[in-house]
Amino acid sequence: AEFQEYVNNLKKEIPNLIICGDYNICHEEIDIHNPKMKGVSGFLPVEREWIGNFIDSGFIDSFRYLNKEPDHYSWWSYRANARNNNKGWRIDYHMVSAPLKDRIKRAYILPEAKHSDHCPIVVELDF
């Protein structure tokens, strides 16, 4: 709630915002390799509701805005050969404020970059 209040106030001063990071939440079933994991932290109903409300407050999930297909993830557990089997989660986001919507040119994930259990995500805006 405090973060939401902070962002709401920030948007009044700076309407063109991109808030990037590891949110540690899969928003939709398409964002997790096994959507039956509803009782697992990172995919709990309360978490998914929070990120949905955040998006509804005037943000766009830039990747999902341009990419509707499944099996695109930004994090994989180190266990059970998850990355090689693409048993991942999409928990990293570039949330773009609504005034920038028409400027979103590309948004993609770089799963081939293996520097940690996460991989880089990219958003490109047209100015």
pLDDT recorded at residue 13: 96
The residues, ordered by sequence, that sit 6+ positions from 118 with a Cβ below 8 Å of its Cβ are 22, 74, 75, 92
Q: Is the dihedral of CA 63, 64, 68, 74 positive or negative?
A: positive
Average pLDDT taken over every residue of the chain: 97
Q: Which of 22, 56, 61, 117 is catalytic?
A: 22
The type of residue at 88 is G
pLDDT recorded at residue 125: 98
pLDDT recorded at residue 10: 97
The residues, ordered by sequence, that sit 6+ positions from 104 with a Cβ below 8 Å of its Cβ are 60, 62, 65, 66, 96, 123, 124, 125, 126
Q: pLDDT per residue over 17-57, tens digit each?
A: 999 999 999 999 999 999 999 999 999 999 999 999 999 99
Annotated catalytic, 22? Answer: yes
